[in-house]
Every structure is written in C-alpha cells, then in structure tokens.
A and B are shown apart, each in its own frame.
Chain A
Amino acid sequence: MAVADEVAKRPSIRKTPRSDGSVELGYLRMMMLIRRFEERTYREYTKPGQKIGGFCHLYSGQEAIAVGIAARFDKKRDYLINGYRCHGHSLALGMSPRAAMAELFGKATGCSKGKGGSMHFFSAENRNMGGHGIVGGHIPLALGLAFSQTYRETGGVTYCLFGDGAINQGTFSETLNLASLYKAPCLFIVENNGVAMGTQVERSSAEKDLALRGSGFNMPHFHVDGNDLDQFMEGIADAIKRARTGGGPSFIVANTYRFRGHSMSDAMKYRTREEMEQAKLRDPISLYEVSLRDIGLLTDQQAEALEEEVSAEVEQAIQQADADPQPTMESRFEDALAETYPLEK
C-alpha cells in the first residue's frame, strides 16, 4: 500500500491508456531487465570463483532515467554518452544482455571485445558513445557529439549523463558554457542519487539546489523526478524539443536513489536503514507497476510473466557469456591505432 500512496501523491499525467499497453509494458519490461541484470551481476561479482573483475557500478534504483531517455531516443540521429554507471543505459538502447555480460566477463564477444569492462560499454550501432571511467571526463565529448549534429544539421540530440559527483569537475562548467555559446543540442542530465561514492551532496556542493549549478550559463536548468518514468519523460520533453529546433542545451537534475553501493566494495555505512526503506517506497519499477495497474494496463499475471521472462533472458545471457571464448592473446595488440604505419595518405 505504501508504494500506492507514493503514486497517489504524484501529479496525474495520464488518466486513460493511450495504447493497448504494449509500449508501456515494454518500458516496464526494460526496467525489470536492467534490475535483474544488475542484481545478477552483483551475484556473479561476489560469489566464489568471481568471474567479473575490476570496478563495477550498479544501476539498480535509477532505471527510469535510462528507460525514459531510450523511449525518446531517435536511433537515426541522437547520441548518448555516459559516465561509468553505464549498464542500464546500454541495455535500454538495445545492447543484448549477452554482449553486456560477456564484457563484464572480459570475453571476446563483449560489447567492447573485453577491452573496456564494466565502466566502458560501447555500441556504435546503437549510437551509444560509451561508458567513461573518469568522473566528468566525458562531458566535453558530449558537446563534441552535439557539435557534430549542428555542423551536419541532423536535428539530432545528444544525451549526456553523469552523476552528482561530476558537477564538481572543471569540465562541467567549461562544457556548459561552451555548449550554450555554440547552442549545442545537448541535454546535460545529472542522475542525482544524492551521494558521490560516500560524499553526500550536502558535503560536496556549496549550492544545495543542484539545478542552480546550471545557472549562469544562459540555459534552462531544472529538476525532474528521476524515479517516476512518466514524470521523467514529461519533464525532459520540452528540453528535447528545444534542442532539436536550434534552441540549445538544457541542464536537468534527475533526482533518484541508488539501491546498491557506489561500487562493489561499498558497504554503504553512510546510509541508515530508515533512509533506504523510505527510498524503496519510490522504487521506479514498483511506482510504474502500480501506475499501470491503476489504469488497467497491467495485471498481476502479466507482471509475474514479465519477471519470469527477463529472469530467463538474463540467465541465458550469463550462460552464453560464460561459454563465450576468451579474447586471443594477440588481440590485445589490435585496435590501439586505427591506421597502419608508416602511413601514406
């Protein structure tokens, strides 16, 4: 009942279903798939005989943002670029769970051929320009992608995602200024989960209202609900339209919560049980499920069936990734450069 109370509090966006529900169920399914993928990743990482190495940052709790962007993403002309918490967005844009899991296992069939790992998922085919490991380091790259869209007059939009920790890097301020000067069609979206590793926003940002960190750049800057899929999609709609029609960038703070630690080694001692229980009431998947039930688009049986489907899909991906080949030793020398030298052109 508690989740339903949360749903009741939100502004009413859609009272009657617009479709047969297949689109909405697709969103729900994708959020479930991401959650299942991340929770299974947690298990694969922590169980004996660990198959996943390196740093690994899970997305559980923030799924509405990735799915909301994917829902608005134009696969012919948009770009997405992200920090290191990149599994969810990659799946939402169409990466197969197998290619994602194989990358976590370091396999040759991984989305980055086993050379990127958890923080560096790429899919040029999906116009997913990567997971990037250095906090804030990718924000200027987003500007470059958006610049190319203006240069070529494609009408495309670049979605640049980063965490609340990244806004304290110099690249953030430099990029927002340049983006506004050049009217770059870019949405700078902070996934504000309230804590940069273990440092709460209150201890890292002198301005507590993070949306105001986007002021001074002559661009719209505002908050959206990052846990409520409908509200999130509604909240970014004007910014997308603005970017597509030459109006330039926007700075958007999507407020959310991560259910897991910063990375796998994080025991989350900076959080209280009460805080986490409160956050669970606004679990994006539960919120969306309840709201779909309310308008008659989802039954208990359908919800169970979806859970079973995504569970089977992830299990199959793990099995396949496990059976997939290790990269050859020689492959480590491949792709360091795109050209062969001496180069005559």
Chain B
Amino acid sequence: MPEIQFRQALRAAMTEEMERDDSVFLMGEEVAQYNGAYKVSEGMLKRFGPRRVIDTPISEAGFSGLGVGAAMAGLRPIIEFMSWSFTLVCLDQLVNNAANIHYMSGGQIKCPIVFRGGNGIAHQLAATHSHRVESIYARIPGLVVVCPSTPYDAKGLLKTSIRSDDPVIFLESEIILSDRGEVPDEEFTLPIGKAHVERPGAEVTVISYGKSMARFTRPAVARLVEEDGIDVELIDLRTLRPLDTLTLIESIRKTNRCVIVSEDYGYCGMGDAIQARLHKEVFDDLDAPIEVVHSDEIPIPFNHHLEEATMPSVERVIQAVKEVTYR
C-alpha cells in the first residue's frame, strides 16, 4: 500500500468525490490559486477549474452561508476554513442554519455539506488561533462531527462525509497534515458513527481522537504496552457526534478502567462530555474513576514552553493510565 501524507489523503478523497459527482465543489480562502494555505488542495484548481475550486475573500459568515444555501439547493459543497478558530465569526451559519434547516423545515430541505479545516492547538499561534471547537459543535443536534487521526481514516471518513446528506463538521489539525500512513489507491470508505478499536486489550480502555490520538495517546500507549506491560485497549473515536457509546461501554465493561484524552478544555469540554455519557452506564463496572486528560484551563499562551505545558502530553497520558491501573 502506498504511504501518503494526511493532506494528500484529504486531497485524494475530495478529488475522487469531485470526479464521481459534479455537485461536489470546494470553496474557501486560498484554496484555488494559492493551492491551499496548508497545501491540502494543491493542484485541484488545475484539475477542476474555477467553477469547482473557488477562492473566497475573508468573509467566513458569507462563504459558509453560501455553502449552506448551495446545499439547500442540492449541491454538495466542501467549505474549507483556514482554521476552525475562525468559525467563531460565523457560528450562526453552522449552528443556526446548517444544523437546523432539515429539522425546522419538517424534513423538506436537506443540507449535505462538509465544513473542514484545522482544529486545535497548532504551533505558537496564541489564544485566538488555538481553539478546540469540537465541544462547541458536538453538542448541536443536527450536526455530525468527524475527527480523523490517520491519513487512512482521513480519506475514508471524508469520502463518507461528502456523501452524507447531513452537515458534517470535519476536524483536521495543521500539526498532523504531514503525517504519513498507508492508504490504498482503490476505492474505500469508512463508516461515520463507528469507533475503531485500534488495539484490543484487557486492562484499561484508553479513548482519544484526532491530533490528541496521533501526538499524545498513540505514543503513550505504545510505551505503556512495551515498557510497563499494561494491556491497553486503545479506541479511536473517529466520530464525535453521533458518539459510538456502545463500543466504549462494551470496552469498559471488559477492562473496568478508562482514560479519555482530548486537547479540549476539561470543564464543558469533549472529554468531560464523553465521561458524563459513560459514567452511569459503567458505574458498577469501574475499578477506578474515569480519568480525563485535557488542556489546562487557561487561554493558550504563545510561548513555546508554556504552550507545551498547557497541552496534554505523552507523559500526562502515561501518568493517567498508571493512576487508574494503580501502578
């Protein structure tokens, strides 16, 4: 299987879907002539032309709303945000319009749209550019929230997201765009709403997603297995809404211990929300309280060392797993 970058996997998914279906188009800041702020859409203008790969001015509310309107008319827009942090200026278009149209029209009008871009803490972008928006969007009925951690998942999940008749919030990370992984050339898709048990284990369930999975959780679990001999069951959520609680509950009922790793904040954050969903279901099965590893509850600082210290880390994940396994 060829090894490609995360950004190439995203590009492959978009390209294949645009070739398959003329109603799919890509729109966003710098996606066309500049070839993408992070080079995700490199070469796509040349391939598809300006009708289907469209640059926008810096007007997030304007072009995200354009996407919603086009989706209401039956097109399948892919709207790229340079950063999910910028969607705070167009929240109304996503939360009020995209999420509600199908429900509020009594099921008459669908909204098949994908919003995608980099989410979370990148590298020294300071507080305004480091928002983790998953808990903002995952709490909204009417939205689907997908967050892949590998190039393989990115391609399979983006293709399904484009084909879905619902509005999909697709969360990437600038930090892992250059990560490489095996991705088959042939056609495949991955299911939305299904978590992936990446490593079966018996002693503790570790749950994560996206960049937190790629950068903190996966390396921490490798060390815990190798150096400490802890038999971890590692689960990649892939989809944050709808949450695959069934897979999580089954796993915790087997391991009796659980750690959730998310770069989001703790209070009202994604990790806490998942924990709250699980707690009642697995209360009698737990041998230790569920641990949530999250970012410190402060605006994200610019200074490199302060920023590093604010985020979850491999060490923090290892410590949390040892805590719930009493090691």
Kindly provide the distance from the CB of A159 to the nearest chain B CB, expressed in whole angstroms.
Answer: 13
Interface residue ranges, A against B (CB under 8 Å): 79, 81, 110-116, 120, 122-125, 129-130, 132-134, 137-149, 151, 170-171, 174-175, 177-178, 181-182, 334-339, 341-345
The reply to whether A113 and B189 contact each other, CB–CB distance below 8 Å, is no
Judge whether B75 is part of the interface by a CB distance below 8 angstroms: yes
The reply to whether A342 and B191 contact each other, CB–CB distance below 8 Å, is yes
The reply to whether A137 and B93 contact each other, CB–CB distance below 8 Å, is yes
Task: Give the contacts of B49-74 with A (CB-CB under 8 A).
Answer: 51, 54, 56-57, 59, 61-74
Kindly report which residue of chain A lies nearest to residue B56, judged by CB atoms.
Answer: A178
Judge whether B141 is part of the interface by a CB distance below 8 angstroms: yes
Kindly provide the distance from the CB of B53 to the nearest chain A CB, expressed in whole angstroms.
Answer: 13
Task: Give the contacts of B86-142 with A (CB-CB under 8 A).
Answer: 92-93, 96-97, 101-112, 141-142
The reply to whether A130 and B105 contact each other, CB–CB distance below 8 Å, is yes
Kindly provide the distance from the CB of B84 to the nearest chain A CB, expressed in whole angstroms.
Answer: 18
The reply to whether A137 and B110 contact each other, CB–CB distance below 8 Å, is no
Interface residue ranges, B against A (CB under 8 Å): 25, 51, 54, 56-57, 59, 61-75, 77, 92-93, 96-97, 101-112, 141-142, 144, 160, 163-166, 189, 191-194, 239, 242, 244
The reply to whether B74 and A148 contact each other, CB–CB distance below 8 Å, is yes
Kindly provide the distance from the CB of A269 to the nearest chain B CB, expressed in whole angstroms.
Answer: 30
**Which chain A residues border B165 with CB–CB below 8 Å?**
338-339
Given contacts A144-B66, A177-B59, contact A116 B242 (CB under 8 A): no
**Cα of A344 to Cα of B163 in the assembled complex, Å:** 9
The reply to whether B68 and A134 contact each other, CB–CB distance below 8 Å, is no
The reply to whether A120 and B104 contact each other, CB–CB distance below 8 Å, is yes
The reply to whether B73 and A140 contact each other, CB–CB distance below 8 Å, is no
Kindly report which residue of chain B lies nearest to residue A160, judged by CB atoms.
Answer: B69
**Cα of A139 to Cα of B93 in the assembled complex, Å:** 10
**Cα of A339 to Cα of B144 in the assembled complex, Å:** 10
The reply to whether A137 and B92 contact each other, CB–CB distance below 8 Å, is yes
The reply to whether B103 and A124 contact each other, CB–CB distance below 8 Å, is no
Given contacts A144-B71, A145-B69, contact A335 B164 (CB under 8 A): no
The reply to whether A335 and B106 contact each other, CB–CB distance below 8 Å, is yes
**Cα of A276 to Cα of B272 in the assembled complex, Å:** 57
**Cα of A112 to Cα of B107 in the assembled complex, Å:** 8
The reply to whether B105 and A148 contact each other, CB–CB distance below 8 Å, is no
Kindly provide the distance from the CB of A322 to the nearest chain B CB, expressed in whole angstroms.
Answer: 19
The reply to whether A342 and B192 contact each other, CB–CB distance below 8 Å, is yes
Kindly provide the distance from the CB of A309 to the nearest chain B CB, expressed in whole angstroms.
Answer: 29
25 example contacts (A-B, Cβ-Cβ < 8 A) are as follows A79-B73, A114-B106, A129-B109, A130-B105, A140-B63, A140-B93, A142-B69, A143-B62, A144-B65, A144-B67, A144-B71, A145-B70, A145-B73, A171-B61, A335-B102, A336-B103, A336-B141, A336-B142, A337-B144, A337-B166, A338-B110, A338-B111, A341-B239, A343-B191, A345-B189
**Which chain B residues border A122 with CB–CB below 8 Å?**
104-106, 108-109
**Which chain A residues border B71 with CB–CB below 8 Å?**
144
The reply to whether B193 and A342 contact each other, CB–CB distance below 8 Å, is yes
**Cα of A120 to Cα of B101 in the assembled complex, Å:** 10
Contacting A345 at CB < 8 Å: which of B68, B107, B163?
B163
Kindly report which residue of chain B lies nearest to residue A123, judged by CB atoms.
Answer: B108
**Which chain B residues border A339 with CB–CB below 8 Å?**
164-166
The reply to whether B144 and A147 contact each other, CB–CB distance below 8 Å, is no
The reply to whether A140 and B62 contact each other, CB–CB distance below 8 Å, is yes
Given contacts A138-B97, A336-B142, A342-B193, contact A147 B105 (CB under 8 A): no
Kindly provide the distance from the CB of A127 to the nearest chain B CB, expressed in whole angstroms.
Answer: 9
The reply to whether A174 and B73 contact each other, CB–CB distance below 8 Å, is no
**Cα of A236 to Cα of B136 in the assembled complex, Å:** 42
Kindly report which residue of chain B lies nearest to residue A337, judged by CB atoms.
Answer: B166
**Cα of A104 to Cα of B160 in the assembled complex, Å:** 38
**Which chain B residues border A178 with CB–CB below 8 Å?**
56-57, 59, 62-63, 66
Kindly report which residue of chain A lies nearest to residue B159, judged by CB atoms.
Answer: A345
**Cα of A79 to Cα of B194 in the assembled complex, Å:** 38
The reply to whether A341 and B69 contact each other, CB–CB distance below 8 Å, is no
The reply to whether A335 and B103 contact each other, CB–CB distance below 8 Å, is yes
**Cα of A98 to Cα of B226 in the assembled complex, Å:** 70
Kindly provide the distance from the CB of A199 to the nearest chain B CB, expressed in whole angstroms.
Answer: 21
